[in-house]
Amino acid sequence: MPIPSGLKGELFCRLVQRNFFVWALANFSVAVVMSMAIERWYAIARPRKYQILLTRKNTVRYVFVLLAFSISLNTPQLFETHLETKTSTPVCAANFLGGKKIASLCYTIVYCMMAAFIPFILIIASYIDLRFVVRKQRSLQRQTRAQTQKQQKEMVLLRMAAVIAMFLGITFIPDKITYFLFWFEVVSWDVLNGTAILCMINSVLNPWIYCLTNKAYRKEFIKTLFPKRTSNAVDASLAKDDANSTHYRNRIAPALYITDDEPVQNSVM
């Protein structure tokens, strides 16, 4: 891709060539999965606090905070690439923060910890603790049918979030390890690009994970892919309900009106 000169070239190198927004949003997705794990923990382990902390208004705030954090975490990377015009063709060159290798190495350590390792430690800890919480709840109290159904729905969401977290770990952790090793001059740029592709594959997998692990998502997914077929199925279901309703009005409903002259058995028949 031809690199422009001047200010456009600087912006191109720091934003486009460095994939600034791509990685900021990728880190945001990790933060969202971490928040899903924490949300599931509060929903099951602390249901009363869940209703207080995770209102619609607070949830919107949390999302914006996570987005701002992800962008600010990637901001130092804007200064690790610059436009170089020493040759006839402008190129984007990598450099250390402030020209100092130790600054880049320190940032790399903090970046990898905050962007991947700490979120996944929290995710794993949340799911492990939830297994003990669920077992304890089942053993200590006798649940009603409604409570059992509610817990089953919560466990479905928990399994979905756990599978998403697992695939996110498989695709993101290698990239952060490679990024760490790259700045310590252990691996090459080509290896780093290879693990970056692995991260992008995660975005392709997510819709299928939602579809396979959650019945509600699966129904909406099928409805999106086959709107005409879904519409016909709904029409058939409505027609069946209407037929059942007509049968009720013509056959069963009149029998409910029992007169004094007729015995109950004959009126029901």
Residues 217-233: pLDDT tens digits?
888 888 888 877 655 65
1 found inside a domain = no
* pLDDT above 90 for 69: yes
* pLDDT above 90 for 63: yes
Residues 110-121: pLDDT tens digits?
999 999 899 988
Domain region containing 257? 227-268
pTM of the model: 0.71
pLDDT top residue among 245 and 90:
90
221 found inside a domain = no
pLDDT band at 255 (very low <50, low <70, confident <90, very high): very low
What is the SS3 string spanning the chain? CCCCCHHHHHHHHHHHHCCHHHHHHHHHHHHHHHHHHHHHHHHHHCHHHHHHHCCHHHHHHHHHHHHHHHHHHHHHHHHCEEEECCCCCCEEEECCHHHCHHHHHHHHHHHHHHHHHHHHHHHHHHHHHHHHHHHHHHHHCCCCHHHHHHHHHHHHHHHHHHHHHHHHHHHHHHHHHHHHHHHCCCCCHHHHHHHHHHHHHHHHHHHHHHHHHCHHHHHHHHHHHCHHHHHHHHHHHHHHHHHHHHHHHHHHHHHHCCCCCCCHHHHHC
18 found inside a domain = yes
258 and 174 fall within a common domain: no
Domain of residue 61, CATH code: 1.20.1070.10
161 and 242 fall within a common domain: no
Give residue 58's pLDDT: 92
